[in-house]
Structure 1
Amino acid sequence: MPAEGLEDMRISNDRGRTRPYAKRTEAAPLGSLISRRTVLIGMGASAASLAACKTPVAREGSTLAFREISLMKTPGEVLPEGYRSRVIIRWGDALFEDVPDFDPATLTPDIAARQFGVNNDFLAFLPLGDDPSRGLLYANHEYPNPHLMWTGLSEHSAAREMTDNQVAVTMASVGGSVVELRKADGAWQPVRDSQYNRRITATTPMRISGPAAGHPRLQTQADPTGTRVLGTLSNCNGGVTPWGTILTCEEGAGEIFGGDWQSAPDHALLKRYYYDDTDNDRWGWTRVAPRFSLENEPNEPNRYEWVVEIDPADPTSTPVKRTALGRFAHEGASTILAPDGRVVVYLGDDWEFEYCYRFVSTHPVRPGGAAANRDLLDEGVLFVAQFEANGQLKWIPLVFGQGPLIPENGFHSQGDVLINTRGAADLVGATPMDSPEGFAPNPVTGTVIIALTSNDDRSDPDPANPRANNRYGHLLELRPPQTVNGRDHAADTFAWEVLALCGDPATPDHATRFHPATSSNGWFTDPDNIGFDPTGRLWICTDGVQPSGHDGLYAMDLEGYGRALPKLFYAPPAGAECCSPTFIDNGATLLLGIQHPGEGAASLDLTPTRWPDFDPTRPPRPSIVAIRQVAGRSVGD
């Protein structure tokens, strides 16, 4: 039963499937659907006058000085005039001296596990000591594209067509990479054979910690303790802790597993985690790893979709799945400190009609780095967001025994709450969102931006998701209360507003909300992961079927005249998305992940690009690039 003041509702999607959730009964006033600050930009105009404005106003006032590019699909990259891009590392580049040169035809799992992985997504850069010319690069490797890795495979039947060796190579090519970088002659380069270099794969031994560790639902034949697991999967976005460790996020696992989910003992939980709406055994892993068969190990799925903490400075350390942060399709884990020193982690569940979460640690961060804070993320409270029509956000705790999270509703411990985080959030009145992806605090202002990619199954808009059939996505801005010591990210309530409604401003049916000076190249759809430069400007990577047919990297101010005025900065090679804009060198260098170049082609023979090698005998290779201004100024200025 839902909590008091809520009513039972049902959500349905385009496959005719439904699920219950608890909804507040209050109505949403129309005025709450539009951002107050965003429509009152620079001119003192009313919302009505801006909506009626037909002539774009002058673009001076945006702090972004680069000449906006035109979005185009090409085999290579497109950058603004005066900028250069350089590939730092590619899929298959050796991390160690004893690794042979990249050759997909002769790859083995052992070789792949000592090379830079495939389809890099989240990036992080951590300086090494006080030396500005050394640092550690961490990259997630989300999933394989077998049909773009080898010839002779097709997109939809690769699982059947691959050899067992190729299947094992895909398992060794995902996860994460730690690579030392050194700067020489102004350029960052990987250090082969560095003591820090490391690969994390789908078979790396890991520890399970926190309230769900040891739970019967996490116990398997291979691990009757429920505290040890092999590998991490579907690593999309992530975060960096204040003590210098990586948080890598597992964004779903249903496509990995094979077997009949409906016959599994925990079939109701599997359905709530979209095993009824996901490709089955997509890459054939059950052939070489029987633990991914639901018949063999029905509890194995519950050991994924967590946040994994990795210490990049200690290559001998064991990665840890932190169950206190909940289990769902984790898109990111951005951190910030509350005024009292506790760490706050922002977490989005990247599915239609899923939720936005926040974790607040019990204890403050201690001096002494990773060693002193090794298990800080095991104790704390996970909250879920409820967006109200009055512009207030309430954080609802997901704690066993509180409200509806009781045995009567199937929850017998905090472990139950965390293993079925979605089911718990359904009952407490959380707001179902339009695919929350990027979810990160601005390091300059302390406000928090949420990128919501899209939801074309939405029929009933609400204040935080104000468009039905939301095909284009939107951005929200959250405002924690201000204190004398900065914004309190651990507070129970925030203010919030809509920052932008994505789509083409020239198409009335899109019902967009951007700055009226947005150009025909500047608008975008499907906002995905986001980043901030050192001045607090927002950088947005898109990921979806853009009306233009291509993804890009956009930037906008969040303060002043240029608020919500996006400009297109970068277009990746055909078929690729760009990921995780990361600024280093005090903003003079932008690191960017280029994921799945050529994706969309049915086979390698049909790929529209062979970037970055442009060698007809080699496949396209996901890579990390470093972008700089030729003149040496900060990126964007």
Structure 2
Amino acid sequence: MNRIDGGSAPVSTLSRRNLLKAGVGAIALAAASPLALLPRPARAVAPISTLTFTELPRIYDQTHHVADGYKADVVLRWGDKVTADAPAFDPAAQTADSQSKQAGYNNDHMAYFPLPMGSQNSERGILAINNEYPDFQIMFPGLITSEDDAGKAVSKDQADIGLASVGLTIVEVEKKDGAWRVVEGSPLARRITGFTEFAISGPAAGHDLMKTSEDPTGTKVIGTSTNCAGGHTPWGTVLSCEEWSVSFFGGDPAKTQTREALERIGMASEDYYGLARFYDRFNVEKEPNELNRFQWVVEVDPYDASAAPVKRTALGRFGHEGAAVALNKDGRAVVYMGDDDYFEYIYRFVSTNAFNPADRAANLKLLDEGVLSVAKLNADGTLQWMPLVQGTGPLTAENGFPDQATVLINARAAADRLGATKMDRPEDMEVSPVTGRVYAVMTKNKKRKPEQVDAANPRAANLWGQIVELIPPGSGAEADHAADNFTWSLLVLAGDTAKPEIKASFHPETTANGWFATPDNIAMDPKGRLWIATDGQNDFGIADGVFAMDVEGPGRGLSRALFACPTGAEATGPFFTPDGKTMFLSVQHPGEDSESVAKLSTTWPDFAPNGLPRPAVVAITRIDGGEIGG
């Protein structure tokens, strides 16, 4: 979002002698941030990296760029038709009704689901795409000159368009003659928006803290917002993460009886999108419980256009970004999640029941019952998962947690009580399909002071981010994702390797074009290589984009650039087809660095006269039809 080693032991426990015994060799270590990275070999007997593409040089201009031998085709843009009755896009004549039938704004996470369901078809399937937030200063020419003025300037109609522009866009796509396109008129196509009714399930459903004047049952809610990263399940659903829904609310928390809870979830008194002016439910002074019904993980069935989306409360409520699903060796579903804010936490959910490949209906309820835990990363390289279970340790009625629903609704406060490790803005997470190791992105934390650094977050005023490797007992299909204790390691410390003061750490063969900063979304390809999409490199005057690296073998930590975004944009939601020959990618908020529509930095991807920049999904393929990365 745009705001607000080869061994199994973690680096912090590995001496140089042990590394040599393991065949790893000498490593370059920053004094405050040791990493298990591979050296330049004395004699090359094999390629260092499995990634064989020619790296993209650094470039930052009005359009996108991709490495030689690749192409990036635009598949779907903001405003394109989704449903059969959608009108053609007309930026000068927008309505909430038309936007609810067209592709939403600021596409983020996405997932590809092969057709038919259960197949490995890599040339026809469904794309489920998150739409995070509106950019009113770009969407509505002449409205405002700064996005900070949006809440005061928008009309009711424009606010409604904003609500219709967020949520999810679901379309059917196919590859023909080497190019991807949307299948028009597909019965699977639909929009899920800020006006869609959602079911509430799990332990918090029906709880008093979930009840409002509009929904006295506490079991349904209108809308979703700020859907950032997410995940996908083995039973063929998408998990969409509500991240900073607080920005859709207004009112003064100090004037409510739930001030402490509202402030802990991040509520401020600003009415950022103006919704509190038009809807009482978005004003915390009038409906203090409404915000409790947001910032959850949403589950959507892309194969059934009639299925209601569900907010899964067993997964906890916080600033969700990332919901990586693994099947444990005993069949239980495990979901790894990040809370994208300063000094927030890494979470894990383990289902009570096991996945049943012969019973999809039962699988659709797996995420309603289980145990949510929060991570404590110790300096000795061990990791402890601490259950967020009412009655355990300090999570008692005396401390403000009378039941499990209250624990889940106030997951951040419960994690505070347990003493979890405060991280540098945990964002996306992914599980290696090869090793079972889990990769967690910390995008940055400018607020961390020198006295607050720790082994997992080793830099103060961290503007660059890092990637943490969580290592369960066992490996591959035998990895025990439900174990109470893991180990952990730092994969890379991001930033400009030419500036020693930053203390960045990559593989020593990483080039001046290959290092990255502010990692955000990640993906694993079928070979278990990590692909990193960045958000914030613009702050350093360089393009955000996509980088790839091996996480095993001699190329571990060697990053290479594949794709660069146009000005003002970030890369989000990379996702591979099963054959590894297509990477779908979102280009979010192009031109967001513009002062106004009158002074646009780009009108990507159309570059039409008097046109607007349009967030879009691109399909990256090799010109020769081979696997992405080589």
**TM-score with structure 2 length normalisation?**
0.92
1:399 to partner: Cα distance: 0.3
Q: Tell me the equivalent position of 1:8.
A: none
Q: CA RMSD in A?
A: 2.4
Structure 1 partner of 2:489:
497
The offset of 1:132, in angstroms, is 4.9
2:161 pairs with 1:178:
no
Q: Distance in 1 between matches of 2:204 and 2:218?
A: 9
Q: Tell me what 1:474 maps to.
A: 466
Q: Is the 8 A contact 1:201 1:232 kept in 2?
A: yes
Unaligned regions of 5+ residues in structure 1, if any?
A: 1-14, 16-29
Aligned pair 1:82/2:65, yes or no?
Answer: no
Q: Could you say what secondary structure the match of 2:108 adopts?
A: strand
| 1:45 partnered with 2:35 | no
* Number of equivalent positions: 606
Find the counterpart in structure 2 of residue 535 from structure 1: 527
- After superposition, the C-alpha distances for 1:67-115 in whole angstroms (9 at most, x for unaligned) are 1112221111111111111111111001133222110111111110000
Q: What is the CA-CA distance between 1:600 and the residue it aligns to?
A: 1.5
Deviations 1:258-300 (A, max 9, x none): 1111111210001111224xx7221112233321011221111
Q: How far off its partner does 1:135 sit?
A: 0.7
**2:420 pairs with 1:430:** yes
Q: Kindly provide the CA deviation profile for residues 244-266 of structure 1, in whole angstroms up to 9, marking residues without a partner as x.
A: 11111000222111111111121
Report the AA paired with residue 555 of structure 1: A
AA at the equivalent of 1:510 = I
Superposed counterparts of 1:183-332, under 5 Å: 183-276=175-268, 280-332=270-322
Distance 1:36 1:198, change over 3 A: farther
Equivalent position of 2:7 in the other structure: none
Q: 1:574-593 to 2 correspondence within 5 Å? A: 574-584=567-577, 586-593=579-586
SS of the aligned residue for 1:64 comes to coil
**How far apart, CA to CA, are the structure 1 residues paired with 2:151 and 2:189?**
31
* 1:32-181 mapped onto 2 (5 Å cutoff): 32=12, 44-47=25-28, 60-129=47-116, 130=119, 132-153=122-143, 154-155=145-146, 156-181=148-173
Distance 1:485 1:119, change over 3 A: closer
> How far, CA to CA, are the matches of 2:479 and 2:17 in structure 1?
19
Contact 1:593/1:624 (<8 A) preserved = yes
Structure 1 stretch displaced more, 456-465 or 142-151: 456-465
Give 1:111's aligned amino acid: S
CA displacement 1:589-611 (0-9 Å, x = unmatched): 11101100001212112121101
Closer/same/farther in 2, CA of residues 484 and 598 from structure 1, 3 Å limit: closer
Q: Distance in 2 between matches of 1:228 and 1:37?
A: 58
Any idea what SS the aligned residue of 1:587 has? coil
- Matches of 2:393 and 2:17 in 1, distance apart? 35
- Match for 1:456: what amino acid? K
Q: In structure 1, what is the Cα distance between the partners aligned to 2:51 and 2:360? A: 37
Separation in structure 1 between the aligned mates of residue 15 and residue 463 of structure 2, nearest angstrom: 19
CA distance in 2, matches of 1:112, 1:404: 47
Counting aligned pairs with the same residue, the percent is: 49
Is 1:636 the counterpart of 2:616 in the alignment? Answer: no
Q: 1:553 to 1:42 in 2, by over 3 A?
A: farther
Cα separation, 2, equivalents of 1:48 and 1:335: 33
For the 8 Å contact 1:245–1:311, the answer to whether it is kept is yes
Output the CA distance in 1 between the equivalents of 2:215 and 2:587.
37
Q: Distance in 2 between matches of 1:36 and 1:417?
A: 43
TM-score (norm. length: structure 1): 0.91
Counterpart CA distance in 1 for 2:204 and 2:71 is: 47
Q: Which moved more, 1:601-610 or 1:427-436?
A: 601-610
- For residues 328-407 of structure 1, what are the structure 2 equivalents within 5 Å? 328-368=318-358, 370-407=360-397
8 Å contact 2:375–2:420 — kept in the other structure?
yes
Contact 1:56 1:518 in 2 (8 A): no
Distance in 2 (CA, whole Å) between partners of 1:47 and 1:320 is 48
How far residue 500 of structure 1 moved from its aligned partner, in angstroms, is 0.8
Q: CA deviation at 1:198?
A: 0.8
Alignment partner for residue 624 of structure 1, among 597, 604, 617? 617
Aligned to 2:561: 568
1:614 to 604, 607, 613: 607
Aligned CA distance change for structure 1 residues 33 and 235 (closer, same or farther; 3 Å):
farther
> 1:387, 1:531 → 2: CA distance?
23
Whether the 8 Å contact between 1:505 and 1:511 is mirrored in structure 2 is yes
* 8 Å contact kept, 2:518–2:535: yes
Q: Which residue of 2 aligns with 1:509?
A: 501
1:4-59 alpha-carbon deviations (Å, 9 max, x no partner): xxxxxxxxxxx9xxxxxxxxxxxxxx9839898998798622546999x9x97789
Stretches of structure 2 lacking an aligned partner (at least 5 in a row): 5-9
CA contact (8 A) 1:35 1:498 kept: no
- SS of equivalent residue, structure 1 residue 417: helix
Cα offset, 1:479, TM superposition: 1.0
Q: What's the CA shift for 1:469?
A: 1.8
1:312 and 1:516 mapped to 2: Cα distance? 43
User: What letter is aligned with 1:70?
Assistant: P
For residues 273 and 374 of structure 1, the distance between their equivalents in structure 2, rounded to whole angstroms, comes to 28
Q: Distance in 2 between matches of 1:245 and 1:520?
A: 39
Rounded to whole Å, the distance in 2 between the matches of 1:144 and 1:585 is: 32
**Which residue does the alignment assign to 1:10?**
none
Question: Could you give the per-residue CA deviations for residues 353-385 of structure 1, whole angstroms, max 9, x where no partner exists?
Answer: 100000000000123354222221110000100
Is residue 435–residue 476 contact of structure 2 (8 Å, CA) maintained in 1? no
